[in-house]
Amino acid sequence: MTAPLIELKNVTKRFGNHTVLDRLNLTVFEGDITTIIGKSGGGKSVLLKHIIGLLRPDEGDILINNKRFKEMTRKEQTQFKRQTSYMFQNNALFDSLTVFENIALPLREKTRMREDAIKSKVMAKIDQMELSHEVIHKYPSQISGGMQKRVALARALITEPKIIFFDEPTTGLDPLRKNAVLGMISHYQKKIGFTALLVSHDIPDVFFISNRVAIIDNGRIIFQGKPIELEQSENPVVHDFIRGQINLKDDLTGLNTKQEVMDLLNQEMDRANRLQANFPVIMFTIDNMTQINKHVGYITAQRIVQCLSTLLKEHFGAAGTSARFSQNEILMVLPHTDIKEAEKDLNELAVDLQKQEIFQAKSYPKACLSFSVSAGLSETKQGTDTDSLIGQALSNQKIIAHVECIKQGETA
């Protein structure tokens, strides 16, 4: 693991008599996506504003590259500031400037780039964010909330910063766009390699893209570590917190939450062990998610996930309980069926899935892309644990639906 990039030590901040941050400790590592979750009004935004220097702590230290922020020279502080970008909760787009001017502003003000160079750079970012070219001369108040978010993201990315702070990047978006924005952040983080610090309460969607999670409660960090560590955490406060915050259904897919499914799986495996009755699990994976993102957009990618989950519910109904396992994986537990029946259902599902419009190559006339959905069955046996069960399901995966790249002109 790399050295900590940002470290907060015993940071305290009070507004009047109200203590917002109470001797808070947090570490952010370089190249990670770190997510801070917590109740609203719990001081998440205040925490971010401390790191970028908009607010100063009453007590405690903020260390950047092991150097105290308040002891840094003005030049060093400026240099740090230039490497960062901040995406505000309500976007904070300049409403008297057009979309183009908004994105170009950091370049125009802080670099000596020529106007045509700025223009081509901004247009490239606009294309990347899938904003249409008609939008660029509109004002922020004339475009939809989702577009505003993308414009804000474009403005944050345009300076190619090393660290980006996201203050609730998905608030106020519908589930499809929410996941699209998160996908976008994760995609660019992998591509450009910046360090990201997110503040969010979109659990569990945000876990899929985070390397580290920190929970803030009553002004203190009660947990920080990997998402997997969080799920396995024995700390009752943390457990309760996650239970309280998590939605009962996944917004995007309408599936159950991962926690629920894992609980069910554990419970059923116990029962199966006792009664010697085995049951199957199926693991679905959408391959080539990055290519989908790249060629046809983040929203389409999320639509595929949505489509798959709708069909799952249709075909398996009450027999199966399924949940998003990660960004492109869905785990399904079928406690009261046997493997034969599951295989039959799976085959029917495959036929149906291939018929969907979204799996037709001609739905993507402009792009040449291939992607597929794989599914893998595995059955519980005496003494297996969940990890090996899932591992086996993954290794059994076969492609059940796919889209092949078609060259233009061949089919038409």
Residues at the interface with other proteins (CB under 8 A): 49, 52, 54, 78, 81-82, 84-86, 88-90, 92-96, 105-106, 109-110, 159
Start-end of H helices in 74-161: 74-82, 99-110, 115-128, 145-157
Name the minimum Å distance from CB 113 to other proteins.
13
Name the minimum Å distance from CB 319 to other proteins.
49
Closer by beta carbon to other proteins, 129 or else 333: 129
Alpha carbon separation from 349 to 274, 307, 310, 320, 353 (Å, rounded): 31, 12, 11, 13, 6
Closer by beta carbon to other proteins, 29 or else 88: 88
Axis-axis angle for helices 99-110, 145-157 (nearest 10): 20
Closer by beta carbon to other proteins, 55 or else 246: 55
d(CA 138, CA 155): 15
User: What is the 8-class DSSP label of residue 323?
Assistant: E
Q: What is the DSSP string of 28-79?
A: EETT-EEEEEE-TTSSHHHHHHHHTTSS--SEEEEEETTEEGGGS-HHHHHH
Closer by beta carbon to other proteins, 34 or else 85: 85
Name the minimum Å distance from CB 125 to other proteins.
15
Q: Cis (ω within 30 of 0) for the bond into 4? A: no
Name the minimum Å distance from CB 300 to other proteins.
30
Residue pointed to by tokens 């590259």: 65
Residue pointed to by tokens 């894992």: 262
Closer by beta carbon to other proteins, 53 or else 391: 53
Name the minimum Å distance from CB 219 to other proteins.
21
Name the minimum Å distance from CB 140 to other proteins.
10
Mark residue 225 as left, alpha or beta (left: phi above 0; alpha: psi -120 to 50; beta: remaining): left
Closer by beta carbon to other proteins, 150 or else 295: 150
Name the minimum Å distance from CB 93 to other proteins.
8
Closer by beta carbon to other proteins, 52 or else 368: 52
User: What is the 8-class DSSP label of residue 249?
Assistant: B
Nearest in space to 182 (alpha carbons), one of 31, 77, 344, 35: 35
Closer by beta carbon to other proteins, 167 or else 329: 167
* HSE-up (13 A, CA, CB side) for residue 162: 13
Closer by beta carbon to other proteins, 31 or else 106: 106
Q: Pairing mode, if any, of strands 67-68 and 212-217? A: unpaired
With 0-12 CB in 10 A as exposed, 13-18 as middle and 19+ as buried, what is 395? exposed
Retrieve residue 299's tokens.
């929203």
* Strands across the sheet containing 280-286: 321-326, 329-333, 280-286, 371-379, 398-403
Name the minimum Å distance from CB 25 to other proteins.
24
Closer by beta carbon to other proteins, 53 or else 60: 53
DSSP reduced 3-state for 169: coil
Q: How many helices (H) and strands (E) does the chain have?
A: 13, 15
Q: Which amino acid is at 294?
A: K
Name the minimum Å distance from CB 65 to other proteins.
18
Q: How far from the centroid of its chain's Cα atoms is residue 34's Cα?
A: 11
Name the minimum Å distance from CB 204 to other proteins.
28
Closer by beta carbon to other proteins, 74 or else 340: 74
Name the minimum Å distance from CB 183 to other proteins.
24
